[in-house]
Amino acid sequence: MKDSYDAIVIGSGLGGLTAANRLGRSSYRVLLAEQHSQLGGLATYFRRKSHIFDVALHGFPIGMKKSLRKYWGDDFAERIVQVKRIRFDNPQFQIETTFDMQDFTRLLRERFSVPAEQIGGFFDAIGRMNFYDDQTEVTRQLFDRFFPGRPDVWRLLMEPITYANGSSLFEPAISYGIVFGNFMSKGVYTFLGGTDLMLDMMSQALRANGVDCETECRVERVLLDRGRVAGAVINGREIGARAVISNGNLLNTIHDLVGDSQLPEAFRTGCAKVRLSNSSCQVYLGIKPGEKLEDIGDLLFTSTHPEFDSDAICSRQVTSRTYSVYYPTIRPDSERYTIVASMNARYEDWANLPQPEYRAAKQQMIEHTLAALEKYVPRIRTLIDYAEAATPRTFERYTLHRNGASFGTKFEGLQYSMDLPKAVPGLFHTGSVGIIMSGWLGSANYGVIVANEAEKYLSA
Ligand SMILES: Cc1cc2nc3c(=O)[nH]c(=O)nc-3n(C[C@H](O)[C@H](O)[C@H](O)COP(=O)(O)OP(=O)(O)OC[C@H]3O[C@@H](n4cnc5c(N)ncnc54)[C@H](O)[C@@H]3O)c2cc1C
């Protein structure tokens, strides 16, 4: 780590990584400081026994291919492959889909008997949405407009998006429409080789572009000089910089890294109303070497709840799980299988459990997941040799996101993220925020948008 840089990027989530690479490519002197021992933020992986577990590689829209090609290189884009078998199993329907507009149109028509003009009207409305549009309509009203009295259709349209970004029926409809529309263009995609390969490739690209990439480097404070960014304190050491891009949680950035007293009053008051998104739980299951899993689909959205319910989907009494099944095809040089079950969760349900109760609750979550999975893989208990659980506390610990927020802030956070440089010149924020700028695609693209703004500032 040098004594000064043009820009310090705090955090190596996909937003931070992409922003750092974009500035590095333009020959700025950049430090990427990550507090964890590993890159990737929420889009990371971990090794246990002989298994590699991907935390957030369930799927992303095809737009990621273009973004990777443009901001990382052709070798990244060529590794994007489609997730083919997406299944739903719940009390209202059992279906399989490629999760694109053509297949959804077919399903809505044939399986759900929705009139063609209603389906066309819905997709037209989604296609016309822009993030600067009127935000008074919420998703529930949008669904009510096109599919009144059809909770089964609401579930089909909403449940996967809730898993993808934690949103509910009560967020602005455009935040639903933009994310859903991204998936509908061509379906769901993944990175061939796994998250470990992608992050290795990113790390090499960053170094090739002259970015200093440092792990176990926690940024404690952003330094200001007469209201403008002057650097940051990292592991107790002052490092100079003309610009800082924070990829940490927006509220951590504002309240902890800058401090409320440094901010204009209107900005501070507005920020106080920004809500965090919810968090997640996961159960990771490693299949014994030599054992095989039958093909049960790649992405399996399951629920035993009678209808879609934004509240129930986050409950500790889990009724809804998404299973991502990783076959050897994802890492062609390996024979290994893993399953990752993901659940939406509320931080407050987990935050204050005393240690013994917390450990027991995690064990119970693993047990319930195995029991639920027996429906699809009857021999699952004899097939696994490793099981582990993550809770909102785990996500908080590894990413520092307050409340273990998995998807940044609710929609209102976007304005404060974008306006941060007006409040503190030289300070930028990127990464999951406002629902639209979350997920792999949203975070990576926001990294580029913010790096462009930082470049304008640096060259001014
Ligand atoms: C369980 C789960 C599954 C998901 N699955 C998918 C999926 O299948 N597809 C998809 O598109 N999206 C998925 N997502 C969402 C997606 O992973 C995230 O939206 C995206 O990766 C977030 O990127 P980010 O740029 O916001 O940074 P984050 O991933 O939030 O990373 C922020 C980084 O900043 C670091 N940091 C914070 N503070 C400091 C500090 N003070 N000093 C140094 N470093 C700091 C953290 O350690 C972290 O590495 C999932 C999320 C979760 C939780």
Q: Is the pLDDT of residue 9 over 90?
A: yes
Q: Is the pLDDT of residue 133 over 80?
A: no
Q: Is the CB of 59 under 6 A from ligand 1?
A: yes
Predicted pLDDT of residue 94: 98
Cβ-based burial of 30 (10 A; exposed 0-12, middle 13-18, buried ≥19):
buried
Domains of the chain in start order, with CATH, are: 4-45+61-69+193-275+407-459 (3.50.50.60), 100-186 (no CATH), 278-399 (no CATH)
Which ligand 1 atom sits closest to the C-alpha of 443?
25
Across 150-158, average pLDDT: 97
Predicted pLDDT of residue 192: 98
Predicted pLDDT of residue 436: 86
Q: Which two tokens stand for residue 339?
A: 């399953």
Across 206-232, average pLDDT: 98
Which ligand 1 atom sits closest to the C-alpha of 342?
1
Predicted pLDDT of residue 446: 97
Predicted pLDDT of residue 165: 87
Q: Is the pLDDT of residue 86 over 90?
A: yes
Q: Is the CB of 34 under 6 A from ligand 1?
A: yes
Q: Which two tokens stand for residue 156?
A: 């089909």
Across 151-171, average pLDDT: 93
Q: Is the pLDDT of residue 236 over 90?
A: yes
Across 298-325, average pLDDT: 95
Across 338-358, average pLDDT: 97
Q: How far is ligand 1, taken at its centre, from the CA of residue 193, in Å?
A: 19
Long-range own/partner contacts, residues 350-358 (CB < 8 A, 24 or more apart): 350/316, 350/391, 350/392, 350/393, 351/392, 351/393, 351/403, 358/391, 358/393
Q: Is the pLDDT of residue 428 over 80?
A: yes
Cβ-based burial of 408 (10 A; exposed 0-12, middle 13-18, buried ≥19):
buried
Q: How far is ligand 1, taken at its centre, from the CA of residue 373, in Å?
A: 27
Q: Is the CB of 67 under 6 A from ligand 1?
A: no
Residue type for position 174: I
Q: How far is ligand 1, taken at its centre, from the CA of residue 13, in Å?
A: 5
Predicted pLDDT of residue 271: 94
How high does pLDDT run on average in the chain? Answer: 96
Would you tell me how many other CB atoms lie within 10 Å of the CB of residue 381?
13
Share of the chain above pLDDT 70, in %: 100
Across 131-135, average pLDDT: 72
- Please write the tens of the pLDDT for every residue from 439-454: 999 999 999 999 999 9
Q: Is the pLDDT of residue 132 over 80?
A: no
Across 346-362, average pLDDT: 97
Predicted pLDDT of residue 234: 98
Across 152-181, average pLDDT: 92
Q: How far is ligand 1, taken at its centre, from the CA of residue 40, in Å?
A: 7
- Please write the tens of the pLDDT for every residue from 12-62: 999 999 999 999 999 999 999 999 999 999 999 999 999 999 999 999 999
Q: How far is ligand 1, taken at its centre, from the CA of residue 435, in Å?
A: 13
**Crossing angle for the helix pair 151-165 and 139-146, to the nearest 10 degrees:** 150
Q: Is the pLDDT of residue 393 over 90?
A: yes
Residue 435's pLDDT band (cuts 50, 70, 90): confident
Predicted pLDDT of residue 61: 96
C-alpha distance from residue 384 to each of 67, 227, 272, 391 (Å): 36, 55, 46, 21
Share of the chain above pLDDT 90, in %: 94
Q: Is the pLDDT of residue 147 over 90?
A: yes
